[in-house]
Structure 1
Amino acid sequence: MLPIPDPQHVGLTTYDARDPNTKYPPITMLRPPAGAPNVLIVLLDDIGFGASSAFGGPCNTPVAERLASGGVKLNRFHTTALCSPTRQALLTGRNHHSVGMGAVTELATSAPGNSSVRPKNKAPIAETLKLNGYSTAQFGKCHEVPVWEVSPVGPFDQWPTGSGFEYFYGFVGGEANQYYPGLYECTTAVEPPKTPEEGYTLTEDLADRAVTWVRQQKALTPDKPFFMYFAPGATHAPHHVPKQWSDKYTGKFEEGWDVLREQIFARQKELGVIPENAELTKRHAEIPAWDDMPADLKPVLARQMEIYAGFLEQTDHEVGRVIDAIGDLGVLDDTLVFYIIGDNGASAEGTPNGCFNEMTTFNGLPGIETTEFLLSKIDDFGTPRAYNHYAVGWAHALCAPYQWTKQIASHWGGTRNGTIVHWPAGFDDKGKTRDQFHHVIDIAPTILEAAGLPAPTFVNGIQQAPLEGVSMLAMLRDNDAPETHDVQYFEIMGNRGIYHQGWTAVTKHRTPWLQDAPPFANDIWELYGPDDWTQAHNLAKENPDKLSELQRLWLIEAVKYNVVPLDDRSVERFNPDMAGRPQLIRGNHQLLFAGMRVSENCVVNVKNKSHSVTANVVVPETGANGVVITQGGSVGGWTLYAHEGKLKYCYSFFGIDYYIVAAEHPIPAGNHQVRMEFAYDGDGLAKGGTVTLYYDGKAVGNGRVDRTQPMAFSADEACDVGADSGSPASPEYGPTGNAFSGVIDWVQIDLGEDSHDHLITAKDRFNIAMTKQ
């Protein structure tokens, strides 16, 4: 029962503390059982089974290799094929639908399996460990908070600090700009400690914080074990990395993704991470061949992969700094390390050509990135000027030898992730592999068994449902241990499958980059046998009885864990009223105050419609300068600011065009109302508009914005009042030192009645959510 009840004193109560009969037991500090290890979970993002050199890939990961040489590799470890579901399953020891995370948080519905709300009877492992005496901290990505709770007003019970972690430093959402992240310390928005020009990257910052935290824990409470969850958000797009990392791979991918896939496959057999009789699965027609790509585009495509490989190597290096810090403290042998190389397969969300700014794809405008444009930006890929993602073909290659990629929960390309477990004090094998089937829900019960702790019956007064995973400890200690995870369902947005004692039955319902969603009745099931390591030979026609048996088993598991009703809807899931989830902001007006930072989900939508922004400000005698309000950043957004005393409005169209409108004269000193009115041209989406600036109701400037972004400004940057906290939305100020020089009393956004949002298709709305995770 957690929290553990306080001991109650029963005995003689004396009048005088000097009385020799005055006896009370000493106060003791809560500690887990003797021998309970420290625990470190490293979870990387969007990485295929065949990406890391530890599993035969082209991306150099020496830290993963070092841990594997001192521990074991898990060759049949599985995730859910998508971000939020894998993370919630990992942290709770339950299947993702069982804890409300059937898809990403942005697609939540009122159905229990898709609500994004973690049931109170399924407490996370961090809470259990904390209440048993562990120090707990999370660093990096958190994408398990319901979207209506990602704001300064909370509630915060599903943020990391409400989920058992005593300390959190990272970002809340699907992805982060590696150079300009939106960071939180616990639940408070904070700024990065330095700029990209000063050498800042997010993963290094996270490692710095993790090293500081673990040193502090062991310096002050050396007898208290820690639980650290290090989830840097790399290598999710945007693929950002300093050139010294990506330049290591210059010229290494010019033969293309089909040759790369063959090379990975050969190395995997040499390493023994797949058996000798494993077959390389065929490339599907939806994935273009390298030879079919335009010759003039290939240098850009090769550079995309160079950037990605450098990004993964840098990420592994920063993980190594955390590992080394633990080693320097003398406790690495007593630390149970799980290094999970990917929360799903490699991401195929970058389109067949890849992109320089993935926001163009999110907005349904990939065509504006022509081959000529991409070639002109080739040296900017991976830098703060880019927001890039690689092409589908690279993702497929990095999932070798399996079929498909991220989001496709039916096949191993989406769900099989190389994992390394290292615990010298806990098991003897070094440099070995394990072939038993396991799933991410098995991590939590493994930790509890290693720590000698029972799964709690009650947590915070609520009776707990059983864990749904099984411990891997026997397998880690004995290569010949029997397989204990003998049945596991999979489902993401209709892509589904079932594993049972070596057999798999699967059906791919939709292709991520095509957004096709046929009726469920039209789905074609495939059957693969126990000896088919890569799911290369479909036995559905040869063994229909076995297929029928597994289909029935999938349905049983689906009912048990809230997978049904299957839900591949798009437009309905984007309408909160139809989906049945709350929404924080309603109506056509929003009042904001200085110092506020709110996500795009929590701001009235100014796209495709006329709108105005009004602010009451006090300008000092020295003049006005700095940001009044901004939304988005250099990859797309707008900002109302003062520059050289004058009020200005800048609209950044994907960072390709900057439309700047300036007032005719400076804002006078004193209390004034400044205003920007945007008169939308209408007649469809992404049109331009006329901008008029006002001081105290008098027009002082006007200009044009020729084209706008129709659906999203940014995947991760916020709306800020009083300063621009991310990448700068205007080239006239930098990422720091842009705070407003005066006082901002309030800012109000008002929407017009000419919205064209109804023209956004269900397919495009769905694409926005599924690519922002």
Structure 2
Amino acid sequence: MNDQDKKIRTHLPMRNVARQRHITYDARDPDTSFPPIELLRPPKGAPNVLVILIDDAGFGSSSAFGGPCQTPTAEKLAASGLKMNRFHTTALCSPTRQALLTGRNHHSAGMGGITEIATGAPGYCSILPNSMSPLARTLKLNGYSTAQFGKCHEVPVWETSAVGPFDAWPTGGGGFEYFYGFIGGEANQWYPALFEGTNPVDPEKTPEEGYHLMEDMTDKAINWVNQQKSLANDKPFFIYFAPGATHAPHHVPKEWADKYKGKFDGGWDKLREETIARQKKLGVIPADTELTARHAEIPGWDETPEEFKPTLRREMEVYAGFMEYTDYHVGRLVENLERLGILEDTLIYYIIGDNGASAEGGINGCFNEMSYFNGLQAYETPEYLNERLEHLGGPESYNHYAVGWAHAMNTPFQWTKQVASHFGGTRNGTIVHWPKGIKAKGEIRSQFSHVIDVAPTILEAAGLPEPVEVYGVPQDPIEGTSMMYAFDDSAAPERHETQYFEMFGNRGIYHKGWTAVTKHLTPWTAMQAKPVPLDDDVWELYDTTKDWSQSRNLAKEMPEKLHELQRLWMIEATRYKVLPIDDRMAEKMNPDTAGRPVLIKGKSQVLFKGMGRLSENTVLNIKNKSHSVTAEIDVPENGAEGVIISQGADIGGWSLYAKDGKLKYCYNWGGLKRFYIEASKPIPAGRHQVRMEFAYDGGGLGKGGMATLYQNGEKVGEGRVDATLAIIYSADDGCDVGKDTGAPVSEDYGPRNNAFNGEIRGVQLAIAEDAEDLDHLIRPEDAIAMMMARQ
């Protein structure tokens, strides 16, 4: 802590007004004395801080670490900063982010998985203990300006609606004064579901007009910095810049993907060999590092059917263009700091991946990532994919690349995202840049480090103590280790000597150069395959002081050493709330069996005009069951037009709307096919009740059914929906009343100017007995009464 700073910063917030000791009657009295009002500021010399966190990017992806994706901004920062080549994450997004922003291990901070699979277990509940003040809040209470841009995937799913609470939102309890981004795991880069603070906002342009989220959020970040430095130049900032890039969908302007045409024609096996050669030449891995073997679950390029290869090649071209495009916009932000003259005194962390590259696209990749989650990838045949080849990465797609490419992006390591046991899931190239605080330039640091080390490093750099108490709540100690000891000393003994890893039962332990690991689940088969019992998992042992890539398993040669590390894993797991290990998948998707709250209770829900951006966790679940959608509307004299209610996007969902005066229903089956049902006559002017009843076939998940339309109880149309989506419509595009924001569900209207032209007085969603009505009419007062009765 700065010796010149006498403030007591261990108990936050600090007292802001001192008690007056001597009181005079007249302000002109010579004895009248008041201390001047003091602005809240951190200790003198505290730097600006910029943390950049790229999404789903492996160690072998960026050119700064030998990968094929050109990242000149990363290279430029590394040339005048440091490369950390033994920096680790948790193998999954929400856990890494919670750990980064708190300095605590992900289970300690309640985030053992993503928020959508939270359970009642303390290590997996997705609730941040109030004894762990987020870094941004600690910095804000010490006088920093704080802002977050991009992805926030740490909000418990039952708290993602407009009713909050907003304790886990960036501008709520997260400590950020400004937020512009999305709440959830991923975003459509062309049609993102955005929030400013806690208010939903729509992009000002369409893709056709040049919109892309990466450019938009960078513009917002640049404008925020400019304003902050214009109005409070003496106040340092903390910016958390967390693009949804390069997470799927891999969306990028075509010209950026085209820069890589033909560069991946040799396939992923050849790419791994090329990458490790570059890594050795750069010195980011030791010269004797071995390329790990490709596992049998990952197909070789030569054994991949030729008919898939045109699409497979383009998938990687699109991804590489996406990463370069992302780095370009990071560069715009960095250049703005340089233009303002503050780059030298800005501590930058450029973390290239919140986990290893993602294999969630499956064996062949996909045009629509939701096909993977809904079990529909078999329908994405070579013919289907090749027909859409030129649309990969564009607004029509929601694409992801194949497992083989993900494996190559994690060169030289084994496995991928989700596999926390091996470095392919957890090691991410990281660059630290702070010219005023780091003397070394263009050097590599190989001390073991972890994402929990970022927060204590920033506090030390700012001269700030770890808070002991925040808002009256005693704080748990930070579990990370500051990395500053190694910034100017490449030979400094590493201080982070022990680190456990766990995700979905994939487990590992690092201790003083040794790792013991066991892979429990394979990401692209986890939803279908029944896992082996935990006690039957086979453990491996690696000496990473001699075997940098975990390529030579020593378990049979050194069983005692393996046992020692297995025992240490159990100790650490007990210490950090990892137990009980939870590899369940279906049970965690279901709130009833997972033990987490649900926002919507009962069998019906009433929605009102203006409600929108509602995630699937905040809307009555009508999947895989019979249901009804009923709306009371006022139709203008010139006839009905526009969306009454919609849920989902062009990649899957449904919409009830008016077209050319007639009621119409569209069911979008994963972008593969759209089923339309249209009324036989127009809706007259005036007040009316319109209704869609869906009679589900039953017999399992994702089955079809009959959709019937009614006007004022009179049947006006019916049609068959051959199949439905069993699990999810969209990861980010929600439910809207009165319009369809984002990518449109139906081809009958576009992304703009699709709002209903009349008045919507209410919409009821209902299932089971609440959906049954013999005369196909509901009284609005009855719907409201049912809603209020559940309070």
Report the TM range for the smaller structure's normalisation.
over 0.9
Q: Distance in 2 between matches of 1:695 and 1:641?
A: 13
User: Which of these residues, 529, 537, 541, is aligned with residue 523 of structure 1?
Assistant: 537
The list of structure 1 runs, each at least 4 consecutive aligned residues, that deviate by more than 4 angstroms after superposition, is: none
Equivalent residue, structure 1, for 2:3: none
1:76 pairs with 2:91:
no
What is the deviation of 1:753? Answer: 5.9
Equivalent residue, structure 1, for 2:487: 476
CA offsets per residue over residues 340-386 of structure 1, 9 Å max, x none? 00000000111111111111111112111111111111111111111
Equivalent residue, structure 1, for 2:314: 303
Counterpart of 1:520 in structure 2: which amino acid?
L
CA offsets per residue over residues 179-219 of structure 1, 9 Å max, x none? 11111111111111211111111111110110110110001
1:291 pairs with 2:299:
no
Q: Distance in 2 between matches of 1:20 and 1:622?
A: 79
Equivalent residue, structure 2, for 1:660: 676
1:685 pairs with 2:701:
yes
Q: Distance in 2 between matches of 1:325 and 1:435?
A: 30
Pairing 1:271-420 to 2, within 5 Å after superposition: 271-420=282-431
1:579 pairs with 2:594:
yes
What is the deviation of 1:695? Answer: 1.7
Q: What SS class does the counterpart of residue 525 from structure 2 fall into?
A: coil
User: Which of these residues, 117, 120, 123, is aligned with residue 127 of structure 2?
Assistant: 117
Q: Distance in 2 between matches of 1:19 and 1:60?
A: 69
User: Which of these residues, 599, 623, 629, is aligned with residue 645 of structure 2?
Assistant: 629
RMSD across aligned positions (CA) = 1.2
Q: Is the 8 A contact 2:604 2:770 kept in 1?
A: no
User: Which of these residues, 567, 571, 575, is aligned with residue 582 of structure 2?
Assistant: 567
The number of residues matched between the two structures is 755
Q: Distance in 2 between matches of 1:508 and 1:608?
A: 33
User: Which of these residues, 610, 615, 619, is aligned with residue 626 of structure 2?
Assistant: 610
What is the deviation of 1:686? Answer: 2.5
Q: Is the 8 A contact 1:51 1:399 kept in 2?
A: yes
What is the deviation of 1:24? Answer: 1.2
What is the deviation of 1:651? Answer: 1.1
Q: Distance in 2 between matches of 1:641 and 1:571?
A: 34
1:593 pairs with 2:608:
yes
Q: What SS class does the counterpart of residue 726 from structure 1 fall into?
A: coil
Distance change in 2, residues 1:537/1:754 (3 Å) = farther
User: Which of these residues, 619, 626, 644, is aligned with residue 660 of structure 2?
Assistant: 644
CA offsets per residue over residues 500-542 of structure 1, 9 Å max, x none? 1111111111111121411011011111112110011111111
Equivalent residue, structure 1, for 2:102: 92
Which shifted more, 672-681 or 27-36?
672-681
Pairing 1:161-240 to 2, within 5 Å after superposition: 161-162=171-172, 163-240=174-251
Equivalent residue, structure 1, for 2:144: 134
Counterpart of 2:448 in structure 1: which amino acid?
F
TM-score (norm 1): 0.96
Q: What SS class does the counterpart of residue 303 from structure 1 fall into?
A: helix
1:430 pairs with 2:414:
no
Equivalent residue, structure 2, for 1:456: 467
Which shifted more, 20-29 or 393-402?
20-29
Q: What SS class does the counterpart of residue 270 from structure 1 fall into?
A: helix
Q: What SS class does the counterpart of residue 211 from structure 2 fall into?
A: coil
Equivalent residue, structure 2, for 1:764: none
User: Which of these residues, 727, 730, 741, is aligned with residue 743 of structure 2?
Assistant: 727
Q: Is the 8 A contact 1:618 1:669 kept in 2?
A: yes
Q: What SS class does the counterpart of residue 180 from structure 1 fall into?
A: coil
Q: Is the 8 A contact 1:609 1:754 kept in 2?
A: no
Counterpart of 2:400 in structure 1: which amino acid?
H
Which shifted more, 397-406 or 1-10?
1-10
Counterpart of 1:622 in structure 2: which amino acid?
N
Q: Distance in 2 between matches of 1:525 and 1:691?
A: 53
User: Which of these residues, 719, 724, 728, is aligned with residue 703 of structure 1?
Assistant: 719
Q: Distance in 2 between matches of 1:621 and 1:671?
A: 11
Q: What SS class does the counterpart of residue 19 from structure 1 fall into?
A: coil
Q: Is the 8 A contact 1:610 1:753 kept in 2?
A: no
Equivalent residue, structure 2, for 1:14: 24
User: Which of these residues, 439, 453, 456, is aligned with residue 442 of structure 1?
Assistant: 453
Distance change in 2, residues 1:482/1:178 (3 Å) = same
CA offsets per residue over residues 424-461 of structure 1, 9 Å max, x none? 00011111111111000000000001000000111111
Counterpart of 1:487 in structure 2: which amino acid?
T
Q: Is the 8 A contact 1:399 1:405 kept in 2?
A: yes
Q: Distance in 1 between matches of 2:52 and 2:343?
A: 14
Q: Distance in 2 between matches of 1:312 and 1:613?
A: 42
Q: What SS class does the counterpart of residue 239 from structure 1 fall into?
A: coil
Q: Distance in 1 between matches of 2:505 and 2:418?
A: 10
What is the deviation of 1:702? Answer: 2.2
Q: Distance in 2 between matches of 1:278 and 1:685?
A: 47
What is the deviation of 1:611? Answer: 1.2
5+ residue gaps in structure 2? Answer: 1-10, 772-791
CA offsets per residue over residues 566-624 of structure 1, 9 Å max, x none? 11122332332332211111221111011112101111122222211111111222322
What is the deviation of 1:482? Answer: 1.6
CA offsets per residue over residues 31-55 of structure 1, 9 Å max, x none? 0011100000000000110000000
Q: Distance in 1 between matches of 2:417 and 2:705?
A: 39
User: Which of these residues, 543, 548, 554, is aligned with residue 539 of structure 1?
Assistant: 554
Q: Is the 8 A contact 1:610 1:754 kept in 2?
A: no
Q: Distance in 2 between matches of 1:522 and 1:514?
A: 18
Counterpart of 2:662 in structure 1: which amino acid?
K
What is the deviation of 1:754? Answer: 12
Q: What SS class does the counterpart of residue 554 from structure 1 fall into?
A: helix
Q: Distance in 2 between matches of 1:754 and 1:268?
A: 62
Q: What SS class does the counterpart of residue 266 from structure 1 fall into?
A: helix
Counterpart of 1:117 in structure 2: which amino acid?
I
Which shifted more, 244-253 or 706-715?
706-715
Q: Distance in 1 between matches of 2:26 and 2:710?
A: 77
Which shifted more, 370-379 or 674-683?
674-683
Q: What SS class does the counterpart of residue 318 from structure 2 fall into?
A: helix
What is the deviation of 1:548? Answer: 1.0
1:506 pairs with 2:517:
yes
Q: Distance in 2 between matches of 1:706 and 1:554?
A: 50
Counterpart of 2:84 in structure 1: which amino acid?
L
What is the deviation of 1:740? Answer: 1.1
Q: Distance in 2 between matches of 1:518 and 1:704?
A: 41
Equivalent residue, structure 2, for 1:763: none
Q: Distance in 2 between matches of 1:178 and 1:201?
A: 6
Which shifted more, 696-705 or 106-115?
696-705
Pairing 1:42-53 to 2, within 5 Å after superposition: 42-53=52-63
CA offsets per residue over residues 729-757 of structure 1, 9 Å max, x none? 111111011111111111001113699xx
What is the deviation of 1:251? Answer: 0.8
What is the deviation of 1:664? Answer: 2.3
Which shifted more, 656-665 or 78-87?
656-665
Distance change in 2, residues 1:377/1:323 (3 Å) = same
Q: Distance in 2 between matches of 1:258 and 1:425?
A: 42
Pairing 1:240-259 to 2, within 5 Å after superposition: 240-259=251-270
Q: Distance in 1 between matches of 2:489 and 2:610?
A: 56
